[in-house]
């Protein structure tokens, strides 16, 4: 085979790969836009198709289910969150008011990144219910590796014994998810709360999360 023909085939394959990546990114971009709107459930593949201009059949070539699409977006969001949390925790090393600064930083990040908190709050019980085991494993392996990395930094910053950094991070994230879900009920439930004057059922997310985080950290002996 001539060098010219080989070169032509390589260019063709590269072009195909670029096209595939472009289409995949179009699908993910559509998914991102859809969950940036106030929604209480995952959008359908039809919605993704309408937004990215690709046929449903084409979308299923790249992702077996809509949950796989949104899992990919969720992973992107976790990547950004872990990067943020790592940088924030490192800056607290020599501070005297670490818990206050940590809580302020996390609350600010969460309130400014609705896509992340929405997807992470439904990841376990909705998104991960309809994906292949291999994809689920890869996703959990990614979360685990980033958690371990951040846990070690957390231990160093807050002078915790080995392994306790991970535990504290999981407790803190459980607070974040729980309080966000309580303060963001489904539309029907929110309507009932407002019509019946049940304000006590709608905690202020920013105020309550900061208080809960500081309470947990101080209660665990962290300053």
Q: Indicate the pTM of the whole model.
A: 0.88
Q: How far is C-alpha 32 from the geometric centre of its chain's CA atoms?
A: 11
Enter the DSSP assignment of 196: T
Which candidate, 208, 205, 223, places its Cα nearest to that of 159? Answer: 223
CA dihedral 65, 67, 73, 78 (to 10 degrees): -140
For residue 4, the number of C-alpha atoms closer than 13 Å in the C-beta half-sphere is 0
Q: Count the Cβ atoms, other than its own, within 10 Å of residue 127.
A: 23
The CATH class, in words, for 67-219 is mainly alpha
| Beta carbons within 8 Å of 14's beta carbon, 6+ residues apart | none
CA dihedral 178, 72, 86, 39 (to 10 degrees): -40
d(CA 175, CA 107) in angstroms, rounded, equals: 11
d(CA 83, CA 81) in angstroms, rounded, equals: 5
* C-beta of residue 65 within 8 angstroms of C-beta of residue 130: yes
Superfamily of domain 1-63: Homeodomain-like (1.10.10.60)
Token pair of 112 as six digits = 């400014």
* C-beta of residue 77 within 8 angstroms of C-beta of residue 119: yes
Residue spans per domain, the chain: 1-63, 67-219
Predicted pLDDT at 37: 86
Token pair of 144 as six digits = 């685990």
d(CA 78, CA 71) in angstroms, rounded, equals: 10
Predicted pLDDT at 14: 43
pLDDT by residue, tens only, the chain of 223 residues: 544 444 444 334 445 888 899 999 999 999 999 999 888 789 999 999 999 999 999 999 999 999 999 999 999 999 999 999 999 999 999 999 999 999 999 999 999 999 999 999 999 999 999 999 999 999 999 999 999 999 999 999 999 999 999 999 999 999 999 999 999 998 899 999 999 999 999 999 999 999 999 999 999 988 7
């Amino acid at each position: 085979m001539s060098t010219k023909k080989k070169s032509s085939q390589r260019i063709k394959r590269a072009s195909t790969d670029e096209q595939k990546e472009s289409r995949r990114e179009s699908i993910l971009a559509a998914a991102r836009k859809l969950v940036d709107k106030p929604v209480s459930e995952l959008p359908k593949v039809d919605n993704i198709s309408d937004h990215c201009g690709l046929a449903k059949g084409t979308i299923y070539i790249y992702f077996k289910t809509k949950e796989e699409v949104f899992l990919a977006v969720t992973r992107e969001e976790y990547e950004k969150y872990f990067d943020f949390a790592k940088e924030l925790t490192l800056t607290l090393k020599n501070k005297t008011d670490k818990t206050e600064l940590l809580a302020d930083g996390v609350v600010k990040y969460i309130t400014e990144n609705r896509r992340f908190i929405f997807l992470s709050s439904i990841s376990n019980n909705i998104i991960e219910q309809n994906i292949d085991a291999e994809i689920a494993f890869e996703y959990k392996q990614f979360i685990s590796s980033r958690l371990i990395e951040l846990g070690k930094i957390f231990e160093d910053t807050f002078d915790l014994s080995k392994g306790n950094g991970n535990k504290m991070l999981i407790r803190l994230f459980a607070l974040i998810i729980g309080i966000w879900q309580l303060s963001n009920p489904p539309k029907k439930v929110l309507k009932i709360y407002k019509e019946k004057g049940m304000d006590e059922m709608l905690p202020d997310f920013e105020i309550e999360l900061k208080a809960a985080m500081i309470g947990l950290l101080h209660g665990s002996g962290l300053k």
